Amino acid sequence: MHTRFLFFLLLCALQFTAFGQENIEKPQSAIPWIRIPADIRASGMGDVGVATEADVNAARWNPAKLVWLGHTSEIGIAYLPYLRTLINDAFLLGANYVKRVNDESALAVGFTYFTIGEVELRETIDQEALLVQPNTFTLDVAYGLQLNNEISVGAGLRFISDNQQTPDDLTSDRAGNALAADIGVFYRSKMQVTEGNDSRWRAGIALSNVGTPIAYVSDGPESPLPTTLRFGLGRDIIYDYDSSLSLTLEANTMVVDVRDNSWGFGLGAEYVFRSDLFLRTGYYLDTAENTDRNYFTLGAGVRRGNVLLDLSYLFSTSRVVNPFENTLRVGISFGFGQRFYHY
């Protein structure tokens, strides 16, 4: 419980570090974990997603990918344990639903919930503990539109509520709420047919979490959202009717002037066999000096009918503990209606 309390204080310090420090030039970004999409497929590929093929979690990365969905509609749930080596009830949970409106457009809705579990607060060791459960949730809606056979665009809106309130108002007197928007473009080339392997190029760019700043104290200072620019390039190599390999390289950075900004790079690969077996791997590199975001990932997926089960695992290469290391992350999705094959 002491570990959980220290972790809670660290979170509060990140959110309110500007309080009473008038000489700080750059603020800390608010709610850093909303930059982590609850996407098990992407988490097995070095957290690449802005330029990968579309799936039920497409809107989390790039809403322009929605129109390339593989079914008439899909629903998916992802569960990511958080700091499992220290506490057992902290997690990130995500749920998404996507539906093709017609041949050129698709609509998505999503929900994400993050918590570090119950925290005991007391001023003295013999005082009866006050239990609090800090949490964050987001509600999303996104729309994708296909412009031609190769290019699509998309946009989304997000409501964010970050509740760090405590019974004694130690840090805040209300939950922090914000509205944010996403926008993206996705390119998927025509198939390039050769005597050996067929192939195609993919590219994507998206700007996410563009929105209102968050304040946790009435008339108090505000913290900007982690507005993030992502862009990437990928290539699909189709060996035959049964197997293919996808390679994707992506980069990201925040475009707001905050202290905790850096560049991140992800390289991911996915091998697909008969559209039923998926093997994934990737590496993520962050340019910050003291970061927990240098890691190697493995992932796999198995499809049975219209049900897809995804798993991923993270091996940290940072000196700082990564909250997702040594945990198995799980996701399941269901496809409904007609199956689409985008050649």
Averaged pLDDT for residues 53-57: 95
Q: How confident is the model at residue 174 (pLDDT cuts 50, 70, 90)?
A: low
The yes-or-no verdict on residue 290 having pLDDT over 90 is no
When comparing pLDDT for 72 and 176, which is higher?
72
What is the per-residue pLDDT for 18? 37
pLDDT in tens, 213-269: 988 777 777 889 999 999 999 999 999 889 999 999 999 999 998 888 899 999 999
Among the residue ranges 10-24, 35-49, 72-86, 160-174, the one predicted with the least confidence is 10-24
What is the per-residue pLDDT for 10? 40
What is the per-residue pLDDT for 117? 76
The yes-or-no verdict on residue 79 having pLDDT over 90 is yes
Averaged pLDDT for residues 199-214: 96
Both tokens of 37, joined, read 């999409």
What is the per-residue pLDDT for 122? 65
What Å distances lie between residue 143 and 89, 104, 185, 288, CA to CA? 34, 11, 12, 34
What is the per-residue pLDDT for 66? 97
What is the per-residue pLDDT for 21? 39
The yes-or-no verdict on residue 198 having pLDDT over 50 is yes
What is the per-residue pLDDT for 165? 57
Residues 6+ apart with CB under 8 A from 51: 62, 186, 202, 203, 204, 231, 232, 233, 234, 248, 250
What is the per-residue pLDDT for 24? 52
pLDDT in tens, 87-110: 788 899 999 999 999 999 999 999
Please state, rounded to an integer, the average pLDDT across all residues of the chain. Answer: 86
